[in-house]
Chains A and B, each alone.
Chain A
Amino acid sequence: MKTFFISLFTLLFLNLSAQDASSVLEKIDANMSSKNRIFESSMTILGKRGSRTITSKSYSEGTNRSFTEYLSPASEKGTKMLKLDKHLWIYSPSTDRTIQISGHMLRQSVMGSDLSYEDMMDDRKLTEVYNAVVSGEVMYGDRRSIVLTLTAKVTDAAYYTQKMWVDAERFVPLKQELFAKSGKLLKQMEMKDVVQIQGRWFPTSIIYKDMLKQGDGTEFRMTKISFDQKIPEHIFTKASLKQ
């Protein structure tokens, strides 16, 4: 009898925990996802031999369309990147050529950072890709956070499991650990400078770290961001790369 009650209680707890975790994921998606967004950002690559910063302006719509133009340094200025569904094109002003990035090149890092082109392209909603369970509650810095363990529910998820520290009040991820199917930690993201913009909480600074590579990671800072703006349709065309 005792065993029955313990089992029932455990099942009930797990079910409740899964439900809670799902609602947390939904709240995170509500904060992090938007119909579209326009932002200016700086990406600082913290390497062994010093750091370098690349600034850019990006337009993105849903998870399938995005356009980025690099503004500095001079060597990267004018480089443009267009993502439409599963395809990615890069325009280089120095060669005046547009090349399509696919296959193994998608696994290369973007401008020497800890982000691969694939990382930039894979931005589906968490609720679409993962099942979550609550692993506990801890203080992360000065914020009370819920620790979620995410397991892929689709076969084509880039990372099979994730561990995520979520702000318990604002429902914004504060830290994410991305694991390989074998359980090996591959990447880590730390979100900082969470601000409220247009009614949603959003981290404006993210430090990406490829855990298999040396270096201190890449800091991605959004200097300006606006959601649900009117983006001209021509932005998401190949013609815009050469403009």
Chain B
Amino acid sequence: MKLALKLAYRNLMGAGLRTWLNVIVLSFSFVIIIWLKGVMTGWDHQAKTDMTNWEIGGGQYWHSTYDPFDPFTITDSHAPIPDELKKREEAGEIVPMLLVQGAIFPEGRMMPVTIRGVNPSQNILHLPVKELITNDGTIAAIIGSQMAKVSQLKEGDYVTLRWRDANGTFDATDVLICHVFSTNVPSVDLGQIYIPLSTLQEFALLPGEATLITLKNAEESATEYPGWVYKSKEELTRQVDEMIKTKSAGQTVIYAILLLLAMLAIFDTQVLSIFRRQREIGTYVALGYTRQQVVGLFTVEGSMNALLAALLSAAYGIPFLAWQAKAGWTMPIDTSEFGMAIAQTLYPVYSLGLVAGTVAIITITTAIVSYLPSRKIAKMNPTDALRGKLQ
């Protein structure tokens, strides 16, 4: 085996530019595949972290009729906060939120919105709800930057907010946009306006009621409360998992094309080597090599391309990937309208499993592609091969 490796190395170095072209193409595959997979892992990590920080915390209790994908359910999705959870609110372990449908009228245009009532003293979610505290009786509201862009509202603006109370009676008031926050989670931004929970409960004639209850920490065994359904963090981030899975499947096509190009080059090189080095093959057999040993020799030679490519990739890939992990990749298109948690700049995350897995897959594929043309050697007549007769 040692001899095989030595011979393979010498042969590869002897092939000069041909070897280096193969190695360069293969190294691109290494780096690009690791980078793309790293971006996906980074997106997954970032999306879940942002969702945890801004929206779902460690899990949520939903009112049993609440369905965020069915606006028809919002009107009736409210109930008194269970007593046990109320105690946990005082301890800062939960954040109740009341959702009421309404409309705002910026510059005379009507925009349907979901009015979210949040306790200004909560510190579980990153929402800057402390800004909602006013001393002069003004009703303060906060909105996300995308909502501000769509509605053309800015900090300091007053806007008329209209809603219907629990009995269906219209009510309206002017609210002050006291703060515009920036988030990567569109479901807490687009079409949402936040006011103090007690104010909304009073407006909607729903004292002590909520639609959602967000927990600070994940529940190991969630307590059942009548009229409320527990949603674990995993359940709430399933949409992200599914999206990443779909995107990863789409990226497999790119990996396949990259690998195909590299493997095509290696396959051609192997075919050419076997064609041009028939005398050498004959000599190996004449010196006592079995046909399988010669096949092994050529397979190792082909596979060594992957090894050299891995070394080359490490030489320029590690600095590149490290720089990307720090600087991130800013997407060339506006991600705010993607409809899911995605940052404009994604920071790739590389795991040892990702790097080792990619190296293993490419090395094994290279070995298979190197072996396939080498099988021809087993069928060669060694005497003819020694004489250099074409077979």
A156-B168, A182-B171, A214-B109 are known contacts; what are 5 more A-B pairs with Cβ within 8 Å?
A109-B110, A157-B169, A158-B169, A158-B170, A178-B170
Take A102-B72, A107-B101 as given contacts and tell me if A213 and B110 are in contact as well, using a CB distance cutoff of 8 Å. Answer: yes
Q: List 15 A-B contacts (CB under 8 A).
A: A104-B71, A104-B72, A107-B164, A108-B112, A156-B167, A158-B170, A160-B170, A178-B170, A180-B162, A184-B172, A186-B162, A212-B105, A212-B172, A213-B109, A213-B110
Question: Residues on A close to B: CB < 8 A?
Answer: 102-105, 107-109, 152, 155-160, 178, 180-182, 184, 186, 210, 212-215
Flag if B101 contacts A104 (CB, 8 Å).
Answer: yes
Interface size class of B (residues with CB under 8 A): 20 to 34
Q: Which residues of B in the span 67-94 have a Cβ within 8 Å of any Cβ on A?
A: 71-75
Bound Cα distance from A186 to B73, whole angstroms: 26
The smallest C-beta distance from B142 to any residue of chain A, in angstroms, reads 21
Q: Which residues of B in the span 86-114 have a Cβ within 8 Å of any Cβ on A?
A: 101, 103, 105, 107-110, 112
The smallest C-beta distance from B176 to any residue of chain A, in angstroms, reads 15
Interface secondary structure of B, over-half rule: mixed
Closest to A122 in B: B168
For A181, the chain B residues whose CB sits under 8 A away are 165, 169-171
Q: Which residues of B in the span 30-79 have a Cβ within 8 Å of any Cβ on A?
A: 71-75
Bound Cα distance from A16 to B167, whole angstroms: 31
Bound Cα distance from A102 to B108, whole angstroms: 24
The smallest C-beta distance from B91 to any residue of chain A, in angstroms, reads 35
Question: Residues on B close to A: CB < 8 A?
Answer: 71-75, 101, 103, 105, 107-110, 112, 160, 162, 164-165, 167-173
For A210, the chain B residues whose CB sits under 8 A away are 110
Bound Cα distance from A158 to B162, whole angstroms: 12
For B109, the chain A residues whose CB sits under 8 A away are 213-214
Most chain A beta-carbon neighbours within 10 Å: one of B103, B160, B165, B170: B170
Bound Cα distance from A107 to B72, whole angstroms: 12
Take A103-B101, A155-B167, A212-B160 as given contacts and tell me if A182 and B112 are in contact as well, using a CB distance cutoff of 8 Å. Answer: no
Flag if B72 contacts A212 (CB, 8 Å).
Answer: no
Pick from A104, A108, A109, A159: contact of B169, CB under 8 Å: A159
